[in-house]
Structure 1
Amino acid sequence: MEKLNNEDKESRRLWHRLNERFVKAMATYHLIEDDDHILVGLSGGKDSLLLLELLACRSRISHPRFKVDALHVRMENIHYETDTSYLQQFCDDLGVTLHVRTTRFEVGSVETGKDARRQKQPCFLCSWNRRKQMFNLAQELGCNKIALGHHQDDLLHTTLMNLTFQGRFDTMPALLKMRKMPLSIIRPLCMIEEKDIKTYAALQGYQKQQKICPYETNSHRADIKEIYDAIERMNPEARYSMWNALNADNKLIEE
């Protein structure tokens, strides 16, 4: 009983910290406004589950007033699985409508675009097709914002990837206003560390994906993560230095 009480206290303290950083990100980067209709990309991983929980809880507060829907995209030809019934129950408990779409792509196929080499990569094609489903549903539902579950570590890893492979100082912004459609991409977890999400997910008993993506560790991103971890071991303040640099160079809002 004492252990359960301690875990409950730890979960409440952690929720408070996660929510505090979520609200700070909302205010700092102007992510949510009155009358927003937000579509959340719900992959079923810990990050998207937390994102939906934070947004759903916040939507019950009168200011700002906004509505939340969730989308789970099934990819027919990529062999990883998420229990859709679990996602449905998760959404039902939060009072959020879940939409499920199924799509596919051919590995090695080339979609229209400039960089054919990049487009042959399965991760790029999978992401591109998922985003396409999200944009289509957002417009069908009349959503003006799409929320993605990228946390601070994701943004910092992307910064290192862009420096290393693209020769530019850039990242995934917390707020990105699309130029060709009336939509904005928001990343409300941008000020939350991955380790806190992992701890909260374990305490809350978030269900893990039944099978992970076969390409999950076969990418430059996995290599960059190892490099970033080594940098943090060398300098525990590196996270804050990089984040401050992104802020100073206005890389976290793209309008």
Structure 2
Amino acid sequence: MEPSNNLLRLRKRLESKAGKAIADYHMIEDGDTVLVCISGGKDSYTLLSLLMALRERAPVSFRLIAMNLDQKQPGFPADVLPHYLANIGVEYRIVERDTYSVVKSKIPEGKTTCSLCSRLRRGIIYRTAKEIGANKIALGHHRDDIVHTLFLNLFFAGQLKAMPPKLVTDDGAHVVIRPLAYCGETDIARFARAMDYPIIPCNLCGSQDNLQRQKIREMMADWDRRYPGRTESVFSALQKIVPSHLADQTLFDFKDLRPGAALTSMAGGDSVFDPQPLGDDCSLLQPIPLQVWR
């Protein structure tokens, strides 16, 4: 069946935003081998679809290898992803590790399991990337995930920190990329429904309604309902950091600040006199798409 015009427009928008993120942060270069982590959720399915489409017209040549980590969760449908990945013709690896038993044995009943599960999963992904010679690791975190992480760290860790679109692993061996950094969760959810992906829910955590991330998600959803465009605005702020108007002494030399200091070093001096944006239209804050990756 031919895709609808709505789906084609949505796909084009997501591909454009992913291509823009890849170009802005130089996520993928000629000759790269990219390990694409596939969980069976809407985000990772969308990530793989967009990367496969972009590869066809990208200005560089790169290899994609999809990877799923079978964590041996009870009832996990182990045949779903191999069948799907084989059908779409992508190279893939299924890695089996019983992290489920480890997490359940270490974390008391009722406590959140995400932190330990994430650390175990990350170590396995890094080892797999090394084994297959992948220099890039692509994760399916999107714009909303990045904004939610910012508020998690702000409210509960006392840090102004989020998920970067691109980072180097601790051992310096790989670069982790997030090509969906400019893509909104609502668009991804709509796209996944239209594509009818065989979604596999994560049952390791259960519902865990007390997770702080869920509380942040609900907070941002409420803000966006009442004041549309808040998530986009916060994400835009992450790209426009002004160290002289924060309070981190390691990023700005407050001690030696004196009258007559160059205003350029302070991003314009006193913010009281800075022009303020007018209205709630955040469209002007959006980056201009590059043609090369579209």
**Does TM, scored on the shorter chain, surpass 0.5?**
yes
Structure-2 residue corresponding to 1:225: 217
Equivalences for residues 200-239 of structure 1 within 5 A: 200-209=191-200, 212-218=203-209, 219-239=211-231
Structure-2 residue corresponding to 1:27: 23
Please state how far the C-alpha of 1:211 moved relative to its aligned partner: 6.3
Native 8 Å contact 1:156 1:243 kept in 2: yes
**Matching of residue 152 in structure 1 with residue 143 in structure 2:** yes
C-alpha distance 246-54 of structure 1, shift in aligned 2 (>3 A) = same
**Matching of residue 85 in structure 1 with residue 69 in structure 2:** no
| Partner AA of 1:56 in structure 2 | M
Residue among 199, 204, 207 paired with 2:190: 199
Native 8 Å contact 1:38 1:145 kept in 2: yes
Tell me how large the CA RMSD over aligned residues is.
Answer: 2.3
Q: Which runs of 5+ in 1 are unaligned?
A: 111-116, 251-255
Please state how far the C-alpha of 1:27 moved relative to its aligned partner: 1.1
Report the 3-state secondary structure (helix = DSSP H, G, I; strand = E; otherwise coil) of the residue aligned with 1:72: strand
Structure-2 residue corresponding to 1:243: 235
TM-score by length of 2: 0.74
Residue among 145, 150, 157 paired with 1:166: 157
C-alpha distance 97-175 of structure 1, shift in aligned 2 (>3 A) = same
Native 8 Å contact 2:147 2:234 kept in 1: yes
Native 8 Å contact 1:69 1:97 kept in 2: yes
Residue among 168, 174, 190 paired with 1:177: 168
Please state how far the C-alpha of 1:108 moved relative to its aligned partner: 5.7
| Partner AA of 2:226 in structure 1 | M
- The total of aligned residue pairs comes to 236
Q: Percent identity?
A: 32
C-alpha separation between the residues in 2 aligned to 1:183 and 1:174?
A: 14
TM-score by length of 1: 0.85
**Matching of residue 189 in structure 1 with residue 184 in structure 2:** no
| Partner AA of 1:182 in structure 2 | A
Please state how far the C-alpha of 1:133 moved relative to its aligned partner: 1.1
Native 8 Å contact 2:36 2:139 kept in 1: yes
Report the 3-state secondary structure (helix = DSSP H, G, I; strand = E; otherwise coil) of the residue aligned with 1:209: coil
C-alpha distance 167-74 of structure 1, shift in aligned 2 (>3 A) = same
Deviation readout 1:163-192 (Å, 9 max, x if unpaired):
110111111110012242320110001111
C-alpha distance 213-11 of structure 1, shift in aligned 2 (>3 A) = farther
Please state how far the C-alpha of 1:43 moved relative to its aligned partner: 0.2
Deviation readout 1:129-161 (Å, 9 max, x if unpaired):
111111001000111010000111111111110
| Partner AA of 2:46 in structure 1 | L
Greater fraction of residues in helix: 1
